[in-house]
């Protein structure tokens, strides 16, 4: 599917759900993040046990204890995982479902 077709699809989806029909809600997405330093096998899975991970609020530097204390060439360099659990409301899920369905159908053309 071309970018042009995808943009038309997005415009159609937005007209189905008029913006005045939904009360806009502003949320602070910075709180409630989880952090684990290290290369963890399987951490990309949604059912990975992240219970022991450190709870952080963004912005957050995983190497904060050493930041500005050592030269930049001596800073730790590793893999770290940030994760956040959240739920989308039914309207957002409906929009994503509609877009996914239309994408699948139009990509077959």
User: What is the pLDDT at residue 40?
Assistant: 93
| Helix (H), strand (E), coil (C) string for the chain | CCHHHHHHHHHHHHHHCCHHHCCCCCCCCCCCEEEEECCCCCCCCCCCCCCCCEEECCCCCCCCCCCCCCCHHHCCCCCEEEEECCCCCHHHHHHHHHHHHHHHHHHCC
C-alpha distance from residue 97 to each of 7, 25, 101, 103, 108 (Å): 16, 21, 6, 10, 17
28-82 pLDDT, tens digit per residue, is 889 999 999 999 999 999 899 999 999 999 998 888 888 888 888 888 888 999 9
Query: Which has more pLDDT, 22 or 33?
Result: 33
- How would residue 21 be classed by pLDDT, with cut points 50, 70 and 90? low
Residue 71 confidence (pLDDT): 87
For 79, residues 6+ apart whose C-beta sits below 8 A from its C-beta are 37, 38, 39
Question: What's the pTM value of the predicted model, to 2 decimals?
Answer: 0.58
Q: What is the CA radius of gyration of the chain?
A: 20
């Amino acid at each position: 599917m071309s970018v042009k077709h995808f943009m038309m699809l997005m415009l159609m989806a937005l007209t189905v759900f008029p913006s005045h029909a939904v009360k806009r809600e502003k949320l602070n997405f910075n709180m409630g993040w989880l952090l684990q330093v290290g290369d963890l096998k399987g951490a990309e899975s949604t059912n990975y046990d992240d219970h022991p991970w450190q709870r952080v609020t963004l912005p957050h530097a995983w190497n904060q204890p050493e930041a500005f204390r050592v030269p930049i060439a001596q800073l730790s360099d590793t893999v770290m995982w940030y994760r956040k659990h959240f739920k989308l409301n039914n309207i957002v899920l409906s929009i994503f479902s509609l877009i996914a369905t239309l994408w699948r159908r139009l990509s077959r053309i």
